[in-house]
């Protein structure tokens, strides 16, 4: 029986080195791989290129890596909740590539599916399209976007089994599924790690073939980025 299970996050992230490109799942603070991010901080790897929907907040998520100045280049679609990110970008310490959110998602999915490039109308006529090939289809202009190339993809799932099959819950089913298999090595941290056969095959979102390593997270803070409540 194939097993993708590793003992802990330390083993799961073996091989990550300075200068690598790392995809990090999650949307805001929802569904981020908290244990993997904490391990990156502990390892102290530098000059990382991070591909993620956003850069977390000042003291949580990828903001922890920004505090230590471990990220050299940030590729993201939304960065409005992190003052530290803004400071480093303005000062020139941090290189930033802003990408339309749908394009970011599709560049991950293309890498996952082995598609080298695709055309999209998003960004045509803007700075996003500068230096890129454009083409007209049926009277509409499109920009050629290439798939991402990453060394590691770090994702978070609710449940997984020893073969790497994953189930995501709620809004954590955002960029996490798209990043599975989109890098040379995909590491999944899960809240519940079960034996093979324990998951209902009809409920599996990502099959284990897209996952290289899986481990059970120790704890998850699951911080809420912005809490909105109804007034009385």
**133 found inside a domain:** no
pLDDT for position 1: 72
pLDDT for position 8: 97
**3 found inside a domain:** no
81-84 contacts at long range (C-beta below 8 A, 24 or more positions apart): 81/28, 81/54, 81/55, 81/56, 81/57, 81/225, 81/226, 82/54, 82/55, 82/56, 82/57, 82/58, 83/58, 84/58
Count of structural domains, the chain: 1
**140 found inside a domain:** no
**Alpha carbons 7 and 4: distance in angstroms, whole number:** 10
pLDDT for position 228: 82
**88 found inside a domain:** yes
Are residues 78 and 57 in contact, defined by beta-carbon separation less than 8 angstroms? no
**137 found inside a domain:** no
Full residue range of the structural domain in which residue 169 is found:
9-116+149-216
The domain that contains 68 carries what CATH number? 3.40.1080.10
N-terminal to C-terminal alpha carbon distance within the chain: 55
Chain segment 151-194, per-residue pLDDT in tens: 999 999 999 999 999 999 998 999 999 999 999 999 999 999 99
**179 found inside a domain:** yes
Chain segment 104-113, per-residue pLDDT in tens: 999 999 999 9
pTM above the 0.85 mark? yes
Neighbouring CB atoms inside 10 A of 128's CB total: 17
pLDDT in tens, the chain (232 residues): 789 999 999 999 999 999 999 999 999 899 999 999 999 999 999 999 999 999 988 889 999 999 999 999 999 998 777 889 989 999 999 999 999 999 999 999 999 999 999 999 999 999 999 999 999 999 999 999 999 999 999 999 999 999 999 999 998 999 999 999 999 999 999 999 999 999 999 999 999 999 999 999 998 988 877 778 888 7
**161 found inside a domain:** yes
pLDDT for position 79: 79
Per-residue HEC secondary structure of the chain comes to CCCCECCCHHHHCCCCCCCCEEEECCECCECCCHHHHHHHHHHCCCCEEEECCECCECCECCHHHHHCCCEEEEEECECCCCHHHHHHHHHCCCEEEECCHHHHHHHHHHHHHCCCEEEECCCCCCHHHCCCCEEEECCEEEEEEECCCCCEEEEEEEEEECCCCEECCHHHCCCHHHHCCCCCEEEEEEEEEECCCCCCHHHCCECHHHCCEEEECCCCCCCCCCCCCCCC
**153 found inside a domain:** yes
């Amino acid at each position: 029986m194939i097993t993708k299970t590793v003992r802990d996050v330390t083993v799961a992230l073996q091989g990550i080195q300075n200068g690598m490109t790392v995809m990090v799942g999650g949307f805001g603070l929802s569904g981020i791989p908290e244990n993997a991010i904490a391990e990156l901080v502990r390892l102290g790897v530098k000059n990382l290129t991070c591909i993620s929907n956003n850069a977390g907040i000042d003291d949580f998520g990828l903001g922890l890596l920004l505090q230590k100045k471990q990220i050299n280049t940030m590729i993201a679609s939304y960065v409005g909740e992190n003052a530290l990110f803004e400071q480093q970008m303005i000062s020139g310490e941090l290189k930033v590539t802003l990408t339309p959110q749908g394009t970011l998602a599709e560049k991950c999915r293309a890498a996952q599916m082995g598609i080298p490039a695709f055309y999209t109308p998003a960004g045509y006529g803007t700075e996003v399209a500068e230096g890129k090939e454009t083409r007209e289809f049926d009277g509409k202009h499109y920009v050629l976007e290439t798939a991402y190339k990453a060394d590691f993809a770090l994702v978070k799932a609710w449940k997984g089994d020893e073969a790497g099959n994953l189930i995501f819950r709620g809004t954590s089913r955002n960029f996490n599924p798209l990043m599975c298999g989109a890098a040379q090595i995909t590491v999944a941290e899960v809240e519940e790690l079960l034996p093979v056969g324990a998951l209902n095959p009809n409920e599996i979102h990502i099959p284990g073939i897209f996952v290289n390593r899986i481990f059970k997270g120790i704890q998850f803070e699951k911080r809420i980025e912005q809490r909105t409540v109804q007034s009385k």
